[in-house]
């Protein structure tokens, strides 16, 4: 029976179990015994006993079945095929699977035989699963139902299951994060077998082309990531130079000066900036900002390239304005009104109050917002690909084309690549560095924001 159908059947059984359990509880209470838990909790209890073990078996089976089938099938192969190297063996396994599942033409009698065996195993497994699930469901149902009596603490039992379910959900998120980090670390370790760590972190030349044939010239590959770090820093710095003043000042205007009616309209409008897809910002950078900058540069006698760090940085700055302004606005509003009144009551003007009292009080929160915006800027890819180019120049000149860590990760992984060449593995090392930097920024930002919150709440 297909897995989806089986799942549906199990859910149906569970809902039937609910009604059975509830019905029995109702009849128990009709006999005059006061129930500890409401009848529906008895229903939930029986439904959980009926559904959960069977569903757990289903999940475990789905995960493990391919491995088991493969092992059984290989065990049944003729010895000359079984003795092949692991790479060849997996080719054979794939062929068998293709023959069995998609009706491909077998290349040899042995493969055809294996495919028949595979199909038979698979069918048996499917029946076995269905039978086991059904048995578990029915057994669970009757066990759960047998536990129903007036004093049974079904409410507490259901509560425990809810707790476990919540823990399971958060565990999934945490495990995923750990998995991502581990995969980054392992692939990076492979990379550092080819390229020494110091050459990667401190080398100043980035040219990740590798020779495909031994006789090729000039393509030994250089993996000095400093130009990438420098480009990332340059663009992020430009972006922050745009976003911090604009965002902070607009936040001050919104929270301290604007009329409530204006604020109600303007704040959501400003936050729309955060909802524009980054690709669209990329268009904007390439089609509007870059030509404009070139024209202005030509007028002033500056050579601004078509792809420049400046264009990308400016547009990225506009993109992260909402991060700065929205968070700053929140923390400025959280500054107690009594502080403003204190300053105004001493005869301070509004701007003196804002600059000397409100902003210092809100500063930790504002710094937190800026750091979050910075980690967003560092991780941004699309705008840079479109507006700043791919050339790994080591320069502090904002008018030149530069490239960033994220852009290089994309370039390294796009196209046909061997997955064990340093060129591909370099992407993981870059990703690891990027991850570490943004993680550190986020931790610092959250720490600062939290420290601030303790003070006024």
User: What's the CA gap between 302 and 116, in Å, rounded?
Assistant: 73
> To the nearest whole angstrom, how small is the minimum distance from the Cβ of residue 446 to another protein?
21
User: In this complex, which beta carbon is closest to another protein, that of residue 341 or of residue 418?
Assistant: 341
Looking at beta carbons, which pairs linking 134-139 to residues 24 or more positions away fall under 8 Å? 134/54, 136/53, 136/54, 136/57, 137/10, 137/13, 137/14, 137/50, 137/51, 137/53, 137/54, 138/13, 138/50
User: In this complex, which beta carbon is closest to another protein, that of residue 78 or of residue 345?
Assistant: 345
305 and 339 in contact (C-beta within 8 Å)? Answer: no
User: In this complex, which beta carbon is closest to another protein, that of residue 313 or of residue 364?
Assistant: 364
Enumerate residues 31-50 that contact another protein by CB under 8 A. none
User: In this complex, which beta carbon is closest to another protein, that of residue 83 or of residue 360?
Assistant: 360
User: What's the CA gap between 444 and 435, in Å, rounded?
Assistant: 14
Residue 73, token pair as written in the block: 């099938």
**Three-state SS at 207:** strand
Q: Tell me if 264 contacts another protein by CB under 8 A.
A: no
Site string for another protein, 268-307 (x = CB under 8 A): ----------------------------------------
> To the nearest whole angstrom, how small is the minimum distance from the Cβ of residue 302 to another protein?
43
Site string for another protein, 393-432 (x = CB under 8 A): ----------------------------------------
Site string for another protein, 151-190 (x = CB under 8 A): ----------------------------------------
Residue 369, token pair as written in the block: 């917002």
User: In this complex, which beta carbon is closest to another protein, that of residue 10 or of residue 362?
Assistant: 362
User: In this complex, which beta carbon is closest to another protein, that of residue 301 or of residue 347?
Assistant: 347
User: What's the CA gap between 249 and 68, in Å, rounded?
Assistant: 63
Site string for another protein, 220-259 (x = CB under 8 A): ----------------------------------------
> To the nearest whole angstrom, how small is the minimum distance from the Cβ of residue 450 to another protein?
17
Enumerate residues 356-375 that contact another protein by CB under 8 A. 356-357, 360-361
Strands 206-207 and 222-223, how do they pair? antiparallel
> To the nearest whole angstrom, how small is the minimum distance from the Cβ of residue 366 to another protein?
13
User: In this complex, which beta carbon is closest to another protein, that of residue 12 or of residue 345?
Assistant: 345
- What DSSP line would sit under 141-175, residue for residue? HHHHHHT--TT--HHHHHHHHHHHHHHHHHHHHHH
User: In this complex, which beta carbon is closest to another protein, that of residue 124 or of residue 349?
Assistant: 349
> To the nearest whole angstrom, how small is the minimum distance from the Cβ of residue 266 to another protein?
17
- Please give the C-alpha separations between residue 16 and each of 8, 11, 12, 20, in angstroms, as whole numbers: 12, 9, 6, 6
Q: Tell me if 260 contacts another protein by CB under 8 A.
A: yes
Q: How many residues bind another protein (CB under 8 A)?
A: 20
The CA angle 269-271-272, to the nearest 5 degrees, is 65
Q: Which helix (H) or strand (E) holds 222?
A: strand 222-223
User: In this complex, which beta carbon is closest to another protein, that of residue 32 or of residue 260?
Assistant: 260
User: In this complex, which beta carbon is closest to another protein, that of residue 226 or of residue 343?
Assistant: 343
Residue 222's DSSP bridge partners are: 207
> To the nearest whole angstrom, how small is the minimum distance from the Cβ of residue 258 to another protein?
12
323 and 369 in contact (C-beta within 8 Å)? Answer: yes
> To the nearest whole angstrom, how small is the minimum distance from the Cβ of residue 267 to another protein?
17
Q: Any alpha helices (H) in 346-404, and if so which ranges?
A: 350-353, 359-379, 382-387
> To the nearest whole angstrom, how small is the minimum distance from the Cβ of residue 247 to another protein?
22
User: In this complex, which beta carbon is closest to another protein, that of residue 160 or of residue 350?
Assistant: 350
Q: How far apart are the first and last CA of the chain?
A: 58
> To the nearest whole angstrom, how small is the minimum distance from the Cβ of residue 175 to another protein?
42
Count how many residues are written for the chain. Answer: 457
If one counts every other C-beta atom within 10 angstroms of the C-beta of residue 68, the result is: 12
Question: φ, ψ for residue 432 (rounded to 5)?
Answer: -65, -45
If one counts every other C-beta atom within 10 angstroms of the C-beta of residue 368, the result is: 24
Enumerate residues 327-356 that contact another protein by CB under 8 A. 336, 338-349, 352, 356
Helix, strand, coil percent values for the chain (each to nearest 5): 80, 0, 20
Where does this chain bind another protein (CB under 8 A)?
Answer: 260, 336, 338-349, 352, 356-357, 360-361, 455
């Amino acid at each position: 029976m297909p897995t989806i159908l089986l799942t549906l059947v199990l859910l149906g059984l569970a809902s039937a179990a609910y009604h059975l359990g509830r019905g029995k509880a109702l009849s128990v209470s009709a006999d005059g015994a006061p129930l500890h838990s409401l009848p529906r909790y008895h229903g939930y209890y029986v439904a959980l006993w009926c559904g959960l073990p069977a569903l757990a078996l289903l999940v475990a089976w789905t995960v493990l079945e391919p491995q088991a089938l493969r092992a059984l099938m290989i065990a049944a192969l003729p010895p000359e095929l079984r003795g092949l190297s692991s790479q060849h063996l997996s080719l054979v396994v794939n062929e068998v699977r293709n023959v069995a599942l998609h009706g491909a033409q077998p290349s040899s009698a042995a493969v055809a035989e294996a495919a028949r065996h595979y199909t038979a195993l698979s069918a048996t497994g499917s029946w076995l699963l269905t039978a086991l699930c059904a048995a578990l469901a029915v057994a669970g149902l009757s066990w759960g139902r047998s536990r129903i009596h007036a004093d049974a603490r079904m409410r507490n039992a259901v509560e425990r299951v809810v707790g476990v379910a919540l823990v399971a959900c958060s565990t999934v998120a945490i495990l995923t994060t750990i998995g991502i980090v581990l995969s980054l670390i392992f692939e990076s370790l492979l990379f550092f077998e080819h390229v020494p760590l110091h050459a990667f972190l401190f080398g100043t030349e980035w040219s990740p082309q590798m020779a495909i044939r031994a006789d090729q010239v000039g393509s030994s590959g250089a993996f000095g990531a400093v130009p990438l770090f420098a480009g990332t820093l340059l663009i992020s710095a430009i972006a922050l130079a745009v976003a911090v003043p604009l965002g902070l000042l607009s936040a001050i205007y919104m929270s301290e000066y604007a009329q409530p009616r204006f604020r109600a309209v303007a704040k959501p409008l400003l936050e729309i900036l955060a909802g524009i897809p980054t690709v669209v910002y990329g268009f904007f950078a390439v089609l509007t900002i870059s030509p404009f900058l070139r024209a202005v540069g030509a007028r002033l006698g500056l050579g601004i390239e078509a792809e420049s760090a400046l264009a990308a940085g400016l547009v990225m700055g506009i993109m992260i304005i909402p991060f700065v302004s929205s968070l700053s606005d929140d923390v400025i509003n959280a500054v107690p009104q009594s502080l403003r009144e204190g300053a105004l009551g001493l005869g301070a003007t509004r701007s003196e109050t804002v600059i000397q009292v409100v902003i210092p009080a809100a500063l930790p929160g504002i710094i937190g917002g800026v750091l979050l915006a910075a980690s967003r800027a560092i991780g941004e890819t699309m705008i840079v690909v479109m507006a700043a180019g791919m050339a790994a120049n080591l320069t502090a000149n904002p008018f030149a084309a530069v490239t960033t860590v994220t852009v290089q990760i994309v370039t390294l992984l796009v196209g046909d690549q061997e997955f064990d060449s340093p060129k591909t593995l370099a992407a993981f090392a870059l990703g690891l560095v990027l991850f570490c930097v943004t993680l550190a920024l986020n931790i610092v930002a959250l720490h600062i924001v939290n420290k601030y919150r303790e003070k006024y709440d």
